[in-house]
Structure 1
Amino acid sequence: MTTFHSLLVTGVYPPRRGAIGSYTACLGRALQAAGLSVDIVTGTGEPGQEMLEARAQPGTSPSDTAGRAHSIVPGWGPSGVAHVVNFARDRSPAVVNLQYVPYLYGARGIAPAVALLPLLLRRAGIASVVTLHGLAAPRSLQPAGLVLAAIHRVQLSLLLAADASIVTTAHRERVVQRWFPWLGARARCIPVGANTPGKAVSRATRVEFRKHMGLDGNLVLACYGTTHPSKHPSWVLDTLIAARQAGIDARLLAIGQEEQLYLEALASVPPDYGLIRHTVHWTGWVPDGKVSLFLKGADLLLQPFVDGVSTLRGSLMAGLQDGIPVVTTAGRETDHRLFQDSIVALAPHNDRAAFIATALKWCREPPEQRRRLGDAGQALFTRLATWERISAKVAEVHRFALARGGRT
C-alpha cells in the first residue's frame, strides 16, 4: 500500500522561532507517527532541521522516511511561490497544506502570490488544503485600514479555492461560512495543540525548581507566550500589583518574556510597577522541552486575550496540557460549549477590573480547589487537542481534499 504523502508549506520553521513554525513541526511529527509521509517547505532565512522520526502509536506504523524541512523559498513573491509549485511537481505529494496567516508572507499581510498558490497547484494537478491561522485585518474607519482589510479578504477568497480548508476556532468557521457561503463542507474547525511537549514533573522537582527560582513560599502567577496585540499584557502586571496590595505574597513568572520587550508592548507602564519589579522573574526564551517545568512551577496561569479564550491559542493549550489552572477572558472567539467556568476561570474580555477580581478570587482559593480547575482544563485538552487527535483530523481533511480534486 502506498504511503499517503503530505507536503506542508510554512513561512517560518525551526530553528527560527514562531508559533506557526512550531505548530507545523508538531503536526508533521504527529502525521508521521500516524503513518503518513511528510515533507515541509519553508523560506531560506535559516536552514531547516530534519524532523525527528516519531514513534508509532499503537495500531500505526512509522513512515518509511523521516520528514524533512526544505529551506528553498527565497521569498514569498511570484518566484518563491513558483519554487513551491515546482518542488511539489517533483515530489508529487497527495496534498499540499499551506499554513497561512497574512503577516507571515508579506509586509502588512499583503501576499498576492501566496494567495494564488491553490490555483497554481490545481493547474499542476495537485490537491491543496489551506490552514487559516488568521483570516484578515479587521475593518477600520481609516481609509488605509479599509483598503488593507479589503486586500486581505480578496486574498482569503483566492486561498479558499483550495480543495479544503481548516480554521482553528468555531467562530472563524462561522465567519468563513458567512463570508463565503458556497464553501459548504470544505471548511472544517480543528483546534491547535500545545507546541511544547507536556512532561510529568514530580512534587520534589517542582519544590526544588521553585526554590531555585526564588519562588519558595510564594503564590506564583505566570504568563506565557509572546506579547501579541491580541493580549492584554498590562492586565497581568495590574493583577500582580493588586494581589500584593491585597496582602497576597504573589510573584510573577513571565515565561518566555523579556522585561524590555514586554514593557514596550504596554500603552503605558503601571505607575506602581517600580514597587513590584523585584517580584517579577523574566525568564527570556525557554527551550520547548523545559516549558512544562516552568508552567508547573506556577499556581495560576494568567491569559487575558483581547478576543477571548479559544482553540487557536497554543500558549493556552500548553497550560491546559500541564494541568495549570487558567484565568482568562471570554470574547467573540470563545466557544462557551468548551470553555466554561468549571474548566477555566473566565472574565469579560473588555473588563480589566473583573479579570483582576477573578484572578484574586483564585489566588485565595485553597490549592486543592485550584488543582481541580487545572484537572478540568487538562481533561478538556486531552479530549480536544492532543496531537494524535489533531493529526487524525488533519489527515482526514487531506484525504477529503484529494478525493474532491478527483485525484484518488
Structure 2
Amino acid sequence: MHILMITGEYPPAVGGVGDYTRQLGRELITQGQRVSVLTNGPANERDGRDEPAVIPLGGGWGWRSWSQALRVIRLLTPEIVHIQYQTGAFDMQPAINLLPWRLHRLPNRPRIVVTAHDLRLPYLLPKADPLRGWVTQRLFADADALILTNTEDDDRVHARAAPSRELFSPCTAIQTPTTVIPIGSNIAPTPPAGFDRADWRGWLGSDAQTIWLAYFGLLNRSKGVIELLTALAELPPRFKLLIIGGGAPQPEDQRYAAEVQALIAARSLSDRVRITGPCSESDVSGYLLASDLAVLPFLDGASYRRGSLLAALAHGIPTIATAPSNPLNPALEDQTHALLVPQAEPAMLKAAIERLSSDAELRRLIAQGARRLAESFSWPRIAAQHEAVYHTLLRSINEKAKL
C-alpha cells in the first residue's frame, strides 16, 4: 500500500507534528508499506534507513497548493492520502481544509484520512467565527476517516464538550468514522553512542548537590515556563533548569520567549537556566537521561497529545505535571506515573519539586510506572492501528466494486 502523508511541517523544521509524521512513516515502512511525504520543506536524502521519501511543495499552502498536490497524487497514485492537520502548520490557509472536497472529484480517487492534531480554529478574517468553524467542518466531513489523538478531542467532534470560540465545536456530531490513536514519543531512549550520565552532568556544570529540572519542548504560553521559572527562583541555587529545545517558531511563541528571557534576567537566573536550542533526537534523549526530574506544567493540564510528556514517560524520568483537565485513557495516575499538581501555580510547583527531589523511593516508583505506561504508546502499536484504518477503507472500495 502506498500512503502519501501531507503535513505542514517536517524535519529539519522544528515541530512535534513533523517529528510525529516521520516516526509514523518510518514504522509503516518497517511494516512493509510505502510512504511518501508532501511538505513545504526540502527533499530528503535517503540515507539507507527506512525513511519516507519527501516531496517538496513550493509556494506555500495557499490555493496554488491544490495544483501541486493533484500533480503529485496523479503521479504517485497512492491508495491513501493522509493529511496530518495542525491549524498553525498550514499558515492558517483554508486551502488544505478544502483539499479533501477537491480530491473527491478525482476518478479512482485515493481514500482520504485526516489526523487532527489539535482542534484550534484557523484565523481567516476579523469577525469570521462561522467561517472558521465551517472550513474545519468541511475538512473532517469530507475525509473518509478521521483520527483523533486523544479522548478529549473525540468528545468535542462528537458534540459532547462545551462550546468554545477557539476550538472546533460542532452543534451535531461529525458523521465521518473516527478512531482515537494516541501519538507516540518522538524521542526514543537512545542517547548518543558512548553516553555517560556523569560526563554529561559535568559538562552541564553540575556538582554533587545539583538537581537538574528538565523542561522539553517549544516555548509556548500553554506550557507554563513562566510559572516554572517563578518556582525555580524560590528554590535553593542547587536547583537548575535545563530547557531542552526551547524554540519559538510562531510570532506568539517569540513574544512569549522574550517574556521568558526577561524573567530570567529579572530574577537573576541566568546561571541556573540553560537553554539547549535545537537538538538531535539522540541529544534530547541524552539530556533527559542526564536530568533528575522533568517538570511539565501545562496550563491546560497533562494530555497524551503532548509529545514532551510521552518522551518523559518513555525515558522513565520522574516527572511533575499538572493534573489532566479531563480523564485520560489509559489513566495518568498520581504518584504512580507522575507527581501531579492541581494547577501550574508556582507555589504548587515548588512544593512538588521539593517533595520529589527529596524522596528517592517515590522517584523510583514513578520512574518504574512511567516506563510501564509508555508501552501503551509504542510506535509498532500505533502503526498497526493506522494500518487497520487504511485496510478498512480499502476493503470498502473492494466490496463496493463487487456489487
Of 235, 242, 245 in structure 2, the residue corresponding to residue 243 of structure 1 is 235
Q: Find the counterpart in structure 1 of residue 16 from structure 2.
A: 19
Partner Cα distance (2:262, 2:96) in 1: 37
Number of the residue aligned with 1:47: 42
1:257-276 to structure 2, matched below 5 A, reads: 257=246, 263-266=257-260, 269=263, 273-274=267-268, 276=269
Deviation at 1:26, TM superposition (A): 0.9
| One of 22, 47, 55 as aligned partner of 1:70 | 55
* Alpha-carbon shift at residue 105 of structure 1 (Å): 1.4
Structure 1 position 75, deviation (Å) = 1.9
Matches of 2:172 and 2:46, distance apart in 1: 38
Paired position in structure 2 for 1:293: 286
Summarize the Cα distance change of 1:97–1:263 in structure 2 as closer, same or farther, 3 Å threshold. Answer: closer
* Equivalent of residue 196 in structure 1, options 150, 162, 187: 187
Alpha-carbon contact 2:192-2:283 (below 8 Å) kept: no
For 1:238 and 1:24, locate their aligned partners in 2 and report how far apart those are by CA, in whole Å: 35
Could you say if the C-alpha distance between residues 204 and 285 of structure 1 is closer, same or farther in structure 2, counting changes exceeding 3 Å? closer
Aligned to 2:130: 150
In structure 1, distance between residues paired with 2:396 and 2:115: 17
- Once the two structures are superposed, the pairs formed by residues 89-238 of structure 1 within 5 Å of their partners are 89-106=74-91, 109=92, 111-124=93-106, 125-137=109-121, 144=126, 147=128, 149-160=129-140, 161-178=142-159, 179=170, 181-184=172-175, 186-199=177-190, 205-217=196-208, 218-238=210-230
Residue 32 of structure 1 corresponds to 29
Task: Tell me the alpha carbon deviations over residues 75-130 of structure 1, each in whole angstroms, 9 at most, x when there is no partner.
Answer: 21222122112211221111100011111113xx2x22111111112211221001
Distance 2:105 2:195 in 1: 59
Q: Deviations over 1:310-353 (max 9, x none)?
A: 11111111111111111111243551742110111111235443
- State the shift of 1:48 in Å: 2.2
1:253 aligned residue: 242
List per-residue Cα deviations over 1:170-226 (Å, max 9, x = no partner): 100110111375545711111111222321689981111111211232111111100
Unaligned runs of 5+ in 2: 160-169
Q: Which amino acid aligns with 1:402?
A: L
Q: Is the 8 A contact 2:150 2:304 kept in 1?
A: yes
SS at match of 1:269: helix
Pick from 242, 261, 275 the counterpart of residue 282 of structure 1.
275
Cα RMSD of the aligned pairs, angstroms, is 2.8
Answer whether contact 1:320 1:377 (CA < 8 A) is retained.
yes
**Paired position in structure 1 for 2:164:** none
Q: Tell me, in whole angstroms, the C-alpha distance in 1 between the residues paired with 2:56 and 2:246.
A: 28
- Contact 1:77 1:113 survives alignment (8 Å): yes
Does the Cα contact within 8 Å between 2:231 and 2:346 map onto a contact in 1? Answer: no
Q: 1:265 to 1:173 in 2, by over 3 A?
A: farther
1:385 lines up with 2:380 in the alignment:
no
For residues 183 and 288 of structure 2, the distance between their equivalents in structure 1, rounded to whole angstroms, comes to 19
Query: CA 1:311–1:405 in structure 2 vs 1: closer, same or farther (change >3 Å)?
Result: farther
TM-score w.r.t. length of structure 1: 0.84
Q: Distance in 2 between matches of 1:258 and 1:26?
A: 20
Q: Which of 89-98 and 211-220 deviates more?
A: 211-220
TM-superposed deviation, 1:394: 1.4
Amino acid at match of 2:366: L
CA contact (8 A) 1:7 1:39 kept: yes
- How far residue 37 of structure 1 moved from its aligned partner, in angstroms, is 0.7
- 1:206-252 Cα deviation digits (max 9, x unpaired): 111111211232111111100113211112212222221xxx72111
Contact 2:183 2:305 (C-alpha < 8 Å) held by counterparts: yes
User: What amino acid is the match of 2:147?
Assistant: I
* TM-score, structure 2 normalization: 0.85
Letter in 1 for 2:110: I
Structure 1 unmatched runs, 5+: 56-65
Match of 1:370 among 360, 363, 368: 363
Question: 1: distance between equivalents of 2:368 and 2:352?
Answer: 18
Relative distance call for 1:284 and 1:166 in structure 2 (3 A) is same
Residue 51 (structure 1) shift: 5.0
- 3-state SS of the aligned residue for 1:339? coil
4+ residue segments displaced more than 4 Å: 51-55, 200-204, 258-263, 265-268, 404-408
CA contact (8 A) 1:306 1:349 kept: yes
Identity rate, percent? 28
Question: Aligned partner of 2:199: which letter?
Answer: E
Matched AA of 1:228: N
The structure-2 alpha-carbon separation of the partners of 1:349 and 1:54, relative to structure 1 and needing over 3 Å to count, comes to farther
SS in 2 for 1:123: coil
What's the counterpart of residue 400 of structure 1?
A: 392
Q: Tell me the equivalent position of 1:62.
A: none
| Matched-pair contact (CA < 8 Å) for 1:258–1:282 | no
